[in-house]
Amino acid sequence: MKEDRYPLAEKQPHRLKTPSGLAFDQITLEAVLAGSITMADLRVTPEALELQAEIARAAGRTQLAENLGRAAELARVPEDLILRIYNALRPGRATRAELERLAAQLEKDYQAPRCARLIREAAEAI
Amino acid sequence: MASSKRFQDRAGRAINRDSFIDEWPETGLILFHSPHDPTPQIRVENGRIVELDGAPEAGFDLLDRFIARYAIDCAVAEEAMAMDSAAIARMLTDIHVPRREVVRVCAGLTPAKIMDVASRLNVVEMMMALQKMRARRTPSNQAHVTNRKENPALLAADAAEAVQRGFAELETTVGVSRYAPFNALAILIGSQTGRGTALTQCAVEESLGLRLAFLGLTTYAETLSVYGTEQAFRDGDDSPWSKAFLASAYASRGIKVRFTSGTGSEALMGHAEGHSMIYLETRCLMAVKGAGSQGVQNGSISCIALPESLPGGVRGVLAENLIAAMLDLEVASGNDAMASHSEIRKTAKLMLQFLPGADFIFSGYSSMPREDNLFGGGNFDAGDLDDYNILQRDMQVDGGLRPVREPEILAVRRRAACAVQAVFREFGLPPVSDGEVEAAVIARSSADLPDRDVVADLEAAGEFLNRGRNGLDVIRALARNGFEDIAAKILAIQKLRVAGDHLQTSAMVLPGPRVLSAINDPNDYQGPGTGYRLSPERWREIASVPQAADPRTIGAAAAAAPLLEEAGEARAGLDPREIVIAVGPAFGGTLDATLLGLPHRDVLEALIAGIEEEGLKARVVRICATSDCGFIGHAGAQLSGSGISIGIQSKGTTVIHRRDLEPLDNLELFPQAPNLTLESYRVIGRNAAKYARREPVLPVPVQIDNMARLKYIVKTTILHLRETEQVTPGKPPQEVQIIAADERE
């Protein structure tokens, strides 16, 4: 199947926004120098990640699509929490209960069911 | 026992500094099919894998569990596992079976089955399969950029050169981990300085790597290592789930991720559990796929010398690259760590990835001399770049690089080093001096750079990270200091992160930046005429190496004034004391020197002197109807009063001939003109005279120079062409007079 949506930056730039709502073509050097763009603007949005997940899935890449779907959830999660969860998932760092709390937090505070499921499955496996 | 001198010679060769061992399956020192490897098998119940390669679910280890849960497509597993391994192996090389169908089948296979399939292919079949199975149609390449002094000006200059040379990704690392933000910064700036563009990464501990990426100082991450046994995984301080989460974390910030694995790591860590390297590597690759990584760097990576010590090791390493591609993963195919002392062996090994092409042929070509390679790598390094470019040109293969000219390289190196200097100044970091910039532009290695104040640098680097200096700060600093072009390109690279196009499988960036990946450049190889082919422009680029001379200019300079003057048709001589020197049609005319550059006048004088020393006389004639040495000599002999002639071509090839011999027979032939000195020509003259006097003759001793033909064949061909241009068919031999040197004034 021919993928005519991709690359998004070329084929569908109108569907791309920064997390603060700026349009893709508003990200210019002038705007950066004028101080109207911050690093937080130069981030992928959950919506763009979901689009990329769809494209990966259409190409038959289920696992990559799942990963991009989890990434879409994490796009809203602050970096220190991401690092905390990552470290908790490393061997011997956290108990099942601690992992369950992190999963619940992701689900409740960040509407991140796919990440929560991954964490629960990790907890089950240890 | 007497020892052979040839054995002694070979014992001293580079190849014999490599280590070689026999297989030892119990410890994992075997490529394929350890007796302890499981037999391929699967059982699926209600869409759930309950048995995997002979293990029941209750007996699954961490990796089995992860693979069963995430990596195998249950919908095709039973169909695919029922197929004969040899049949699947044949699909891999069958040009009538599209990649997509092979990927569909392989998605349903277990680790033991995939190893069995791969083991059915010989090395050429594996190369055919890799050509078809790599995910992106266009091959590319990745460079290492590091240096021992962690000098930012040199890092930036090397990064700029690497991109100018065509590398699509740059990987740096650190000697001291606190340098990481500066190294990432320097290659970010360098990577956007030249004509092209590249993604960049800094290989450090995972948490630090994530921070650098969040700050926009890197655009991809590669060193997410996975292992094929549970215990090795634990020793790596990760689990498949933590890696899967990490992959999502990077993607959530628009960072491209590639995992790392490779044969031999488990054996090296003492945790192979008796399994073969390829079986364990397949488990790794299935963990990579299950975690949702778009790709992997493998090909044994830093363990390369271990599989290479074993029988079939180099083939096995190609098999791991291929298995990654069968699993629809991007593959950056190794070739980064030192694989051999032997240049022959290194190059032979490289061909297995270079010829079929990989998404990234090297996962780290050392773009600087290997002593500056902080990965400890550098199997191919800066010194080998000309060789590499010539290999591309020889094989008509796209290895991802482009030949460059020195001025363009000096220009981009200077620009990058100056940009880093300006950014350091703007941020109040320890200054980069003009001397460092100048040294970085022309340096061979960091030994050519002044030492920096390491303590001050490390303190500043820590502060830089703590203040959260990011990609936008860098863009502003560059723009404020006259580097708007680099600033704009770094911004464009940061913008990739908003779109996420480079998160798709096998993504690389082209100038623009334009993303090329397995989505918009899928590998459609199905035999001749399909798949990746060099465009005419790209082929011209690869073919036009700076070393290539214009053949039209070789030997084109005509003699200032002729040496010989024709004086009518040559007659047959009657004097038995006469030797004819028969020269070729261009001799002393449109050509004036031999291949070696000996002036025709001096050569002629030496021949005549030799003849006269033996008391005979020389007569010079020009042969006009042929440029062939044998026929020139033969024609001369027909005219010679003694029946003996010396035939000489303009390029200096000489023959001693006799009237009664067949044209291509001779008394003595001196086919290698480069080995002939004026002294040789004098002795040739003397010998000719001795033949005329019917004395016993000791043939002229000639040196053997095996390289002569190699060195001179191009010039030989062209000088001969020029002589042949002067042939006038049917024109009889001409008497010639030597114009005295002073008359030429």
B346-403 confidence digits (pLDDT tens): 999 999 999 999 999 999 999 999 999 999 989 999 999 999 999 999 999 999 999 9
Average pLDDT over residues A27-31: 96
Do residues A51 and A18 share a domain? yes
Do residues A100 and A59 share a domain? no
Range(s) of the domain holding residue A95? 78-126
In chain A, which residues have their Cβ closer than 8 Å to the Cβ of B290? 63
Euclidean distance between CA atoms B356 and B525, whole angstroms: 11
B156 Cβ under 8 Å from any chain A Cβ: no
Do residues A32 and A68 share a domain? yes
pLDDT at B206: 84
For residue A74, give the nearest of B238, B249, B291 by CB distance.
B249
pLDDT in tens, B457-484: 999 999 999 999 999 999 999 999 999 9
Average pLDDT over residues B540-563: 86
Is the pLDDT at B267 greater than 90? The verdict is yes
Do residues A69 and A30 share a domain? yes
Task: Report yes or no: B723 and B593 within 8 Å, Cβ to Cβ.
Answer: no
Which residue of chain A comes nearest to B504, CA vs CA?
A: A56
pLDDT in tens, A87-104: 999 999 999 999 999 999
pLDDT at B558: 59
Q: Which amino acid, residue B328? A: D
Do residues A48 and A3 share a domain? yes
Give the residue from B221, B218, B312, B298 showing the smallest Cα distance to B21. Answer: B312
pLDDT at A1: 57
Q: Cβ separation of B292 and A33 shorter than 8 Å?
A: no
Q: Cβ separation of B216 and A119 shorter than 8 Å?
A: no
pTM: predicted TM-score of the whole model, two decimal places: 0.95
Task: Report yes or no: B326 and B116 within 8 Å, Cβ to Cβ.
Answer: no
Among B546-560, B609-623, B666-680, the range with the most confident prediction by mean pLDDT is B609-623
Q: Cβ separation of B207 and A83 shorter than 8 Å?
A: yes
pLDDT at B559: 54
The A residues from 89 to 108 touching B (CB cutoff 8 Å) are 89-92
In chain B, which residues have their Cβ closer than 8 Å to the Cβ of A80? none
B288 Cβ under 8 Å from any chain A Cβ: no
Q: Cβ separation of A74 and B248 shorter than 8 Å?
A: yes
Helix, strand, coil percentages (3-state) for chain B, rounded to 5, are 45, 15, 40
In chain A, which residues have their Cβ closer than 8 Å to the Cβ of B206? 86
The Cα of B136 is separated from the nearest Cα of chain A by a number of Å equal to 13
Do residues A82 and A37 share a domain? no
pLDDT at B745: 43
Do residues A123 and A70 share a domain? no
Do residues A71 and A85 share a domain? no
**Lowest mean pLDDT, pick from A58-67, B627-636, B642-651, B696-705:** B696-705
pLDDT in tens, B165-174: 999 999 999 9
Q: Cβ separation of B501 and A33 shorter than 8 Å?
A: no
Catalytic residues of B: 142, 144, 171, 222, 297, 336, 363
End-of-domain residue from the set A52, A76, A100: A76
Computed over every residue of chain B, the mean pLDDT equals: 96
Task: Please report, for the domain that includes residue A110, its CATH number.
Answer: 1.10.1510.20
Structure tokens at B416: 């990058």
The Cα of A125 is separated from the nearest Cα of chain B by a number of Å equal to 7
Structure tokens at A1: 């199947």
- Buried (b) or exposed (e) across A7-19, using 16+ Cβ within 10 A? bbbeebbeebbbb
Do residues A53 and A108 share a domain? no
pLDDT at B338: 96
Based on its alpha-carbon atoms, the radius of gyration of chain A, rounded to whole angstroms, reads: 17
pLDDT in tens, B108-133: 999 999 999 999 999 999 999 999 99
ipTM of the complex: 0.98
pLDDT in tens, B578-617: 999 999 999 999 999 999 999 999 999 999 999 999 999 9
Calculate the dihedral angle through the C-alpha atoms of B723, B721, B549, B166, rounding to the nearest 10 degrees.
Answer: -170
Q: Cβ separation of A6 and B496 shorter than 8 Å?
A: no
pLDDT in tens, B137-190: 999 999 999 999 999 999 999 999 999 999 999 999 999 999 999 999 999 999
Do residues A89 and A54 share a domain? no
Which residue of chain B comes nearest to A83, CA vs CA?
A: B207
Give the residue from B119, B87, B93 showing the smallest Cα distance to B525. Answer: B93
pLDDT at B598: 94
B471 Cβ under 8 Å from any chain A Cβ: yes
In chain B, which residues have their Cβ closer than 8 Å to the Cβ of A56? 504-505
A31 Cβ under 8 Å from any chain B Cβ: no
Which residue of chain B comes nearest to A37, CA vs CA?
A: B472
The count of domains in chain A is 2
pLDDT at A40: 87
The Cα of B717 is separated from the nearest Cα of chain A by a number of Å equal to 52
Task: Report yes or no: B104 and A60 within 8 Å, Cβ to Cβ.
Answer: yes
Do residues A84 and A64 share a domain? no
The three state secondary structure string of B685-703 is: HHHHHHHHCCCCCCCCCCC
pLDDT band of residue B136 (cuts 50, 70, 90) is very high
Do residues A94 and A54 share a domain? no
